């Protein structure tokens, strides 16, 4: 089977998808924006062909390139795992008659207001929202819905470009900064209070084959705006044993049907609070920030191989053990500048070393990245433990004793 994979080099774990396909027995070609000379030795060994293009989201160029590859060696699948690449890949797939995620599904998973409209029509509770480029229309929505509200790009991923507004004046400022009134469109939605988490699957023919639940501490918008917080996300091994997860699992299956998700990785953000369970954003792609690595470590499976088997053969080969919970804690520099050193690393290693999966501690002199750059932008530690609560306590302690000094 010949699979074309979009952008194998960036971010770094993209190569793991290629490896999974290769180890599952596929012939893998790839299309990317970096020169062939930049491929590492693993990718050179796993790929039968690599084609450089100026932009993988240029649908016409992507389609022509896949068509050319197909003329040399019939293409059976075209796969993309990055949010911005999913819709262009679906459009190329549809133009060439290649099996996979449809344009409708990819569009609904990319355009957040359209997604929420379909979910609401299907009976799935979600935040009130509007997608518009009209300032007057958005202000009328705000007057009707009330504050606080969230303003974000229509096709955002995670918290990228997202702001909370608490008044008409701050909303007007946010719309001006986003370019509304000058051709730009945004999604504006009701702010949903409550605990934030995500539900991820590998889905085959609309049926969930693997599923995982991961919690944020604190919620993403706060985590990405507050320097002193060492934010975490932690995947639980209690998904079957704790009854509170059942509504999330059931709602996830309902979402699959409404959005027409067939065989794909999925990523679904949800909130639970005073208004009950609310699904927020749905992606027909894996989660970011290498959350899949935690699923592999916590469940003693190779999730990239599981995904590849699902894509190629419509089945998986391993069962998740739920042996461990696994999590990541981000360690922020105390200020912007350059890394000057670390405190508490030896103590953390002494106390918890057997449970540490890996870590990233940029060397002295490394420029710091801004807080909003994300969980893995600066230093981080990943850990696992059989008991979820114990893991949470260990991650909290690491956040308390390890300090990243910059200047």
DSSP per residue over 31-56, as a string?
Answer: EESS-GGG--HHHHHHEEEEEE-S-T
CATH T-level assignment (fold) for domain 2-100: Rossmann fold (3.40.50)
Centroid of chain to Cα 215: 13
By CB atoms closer than 10 A (0-12, 13-18, 19+), residue 339 is: buried
What pLDDT is attached to residue 275? 84
What pLDDT is attached to residue 152? 86
Of all helices (H) and strands (E), which one includes residue 318? none
CA-based nearest residue to 267, from 198, 217, 197: 198
Report the distance separating Cα 359 and Cα 402, nearest Å.
Answer: 12
Domain boundaries, the chain: 2-100, 128-190, 192-223+236-321, 324-407
| Fold agreement between 192-223+236-321 and 324-407 | yes
Structural class in CATH, domain 192-223+236-321: alpha beta
CATH T-level assignment (fold) for domain 128-190: Dna Ligase; domain 1 (3.30.1490)
Q: Write out the two tokens for 240.
A: 């079957």
What pLDDT is attached to residue 192? 83
Q: What is the CATH number of domain 324-407?
A: 3.30.470.20
What pLDDT is attached to residue 31? 98
pLDDT values of the chain reduced to their tens digit, one per residue, 407 residues = 999 999 999 998 999 999 999 999 999 999 999 999 999 999 999 999 999 999 999 999 999 999 999 999 999 999 999 999 999 999 999 999 999 999 999 999 998 889 989 999 999 988 888 989 999 999 999 999 999 999 988 765 555 678 899 999 999 999 999 899 888 999 998 888 899 999 999 999 999 999 999 999 999 988 988 899 999 999 999 999 998 999 999 999 999 999 999 999 999 999 999 889 988 889 999 999 999 999 999 999 999 999 999 999 999 999 999 999 999 999 999 999 999 999 999 999 999 999 999 999 999 999 999 998 999 999 999 999 999 999 999 999 999 999 999 99
């Amino acid at each position: 089977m010949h699979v074309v994979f979009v952008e194998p080099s960036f971010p770094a774990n993209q190569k793991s998808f290629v490896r999974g396909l290769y180890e599952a027995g596929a012939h893998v070609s790839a299309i990317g924006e970096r020169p062939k000379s930049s491929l590492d030795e693993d990718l050179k060994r796993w790929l039968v062909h690599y084609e450089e293009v100026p932009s993988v989201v240029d649908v016409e160029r992507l389609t022509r390139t896949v068509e050319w590859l197909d003329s040399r060696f019939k293409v059976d699948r075209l796969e993309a795992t990055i949010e911005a690449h999913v819709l262009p890949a679906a459009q190329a797939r549809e133009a060439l008659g290649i099996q996979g995620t449809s344009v409708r599904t990819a569009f609904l998973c990319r355009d957040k207001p359209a997604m929420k409209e379909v979910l609401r029509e299907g009976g799935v509770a979600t935040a009130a929202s509007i997608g518009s480029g009209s300032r007057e229309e958005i202000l009328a929505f705000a007057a009707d819905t009330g504050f606080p509200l969230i303003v974000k790009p229509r096709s955002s991923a995670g918290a990228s470009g997202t702001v909370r507004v608490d008044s008409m004046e701050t909303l007007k400022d946010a719309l001006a900064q986003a370019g509304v009134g000058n051709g730009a469109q945004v999604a504006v939605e009701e702010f949903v209070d409550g605990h934030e988490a995500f539900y991820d699957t590998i889905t085959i023919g609309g049926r969930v084959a693997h599923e995982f639940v991961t919690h944020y501490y604190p919620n993403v918008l706060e985590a990405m705006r507050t320097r002193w917080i060492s934010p975490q996300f932690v995947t639980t091994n209690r998904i079957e044993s704790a009854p509170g997860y059942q509504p999330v699992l059931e709602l996830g299956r309902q979402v699959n049907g409404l959005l027409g998700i067939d065989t794909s990785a999925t990523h679904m953000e949800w909130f639970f609070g005073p208004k009950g369970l609310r699904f927020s954003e749905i992606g027909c792609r894996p989660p970011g920030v290498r959350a899949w690595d935690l699923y592999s470590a916590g469940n003693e499976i190779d999730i990239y191989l599981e995904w590849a088997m699902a894509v190629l053969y419509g089945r998986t080969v391993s069962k998740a053990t739920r042996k461990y919970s696994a999590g990541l804690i981000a360690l922020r520099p105390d200020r912007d500048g350059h890394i000057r050193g670390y405190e508490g690393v030896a103590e953390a290693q002494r106390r918890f070393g057997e449970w540490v999966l890996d870590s990233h501690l940029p060397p002295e002199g490394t420029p710091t990245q801004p807080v909003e750059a994300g969980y893995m932008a600066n230093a981080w530690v990943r850990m696992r433990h059989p008991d979820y609560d114990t893991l949470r306590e260990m991650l909290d302690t690491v956040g308390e004793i390890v300090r990243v000094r910059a200047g």
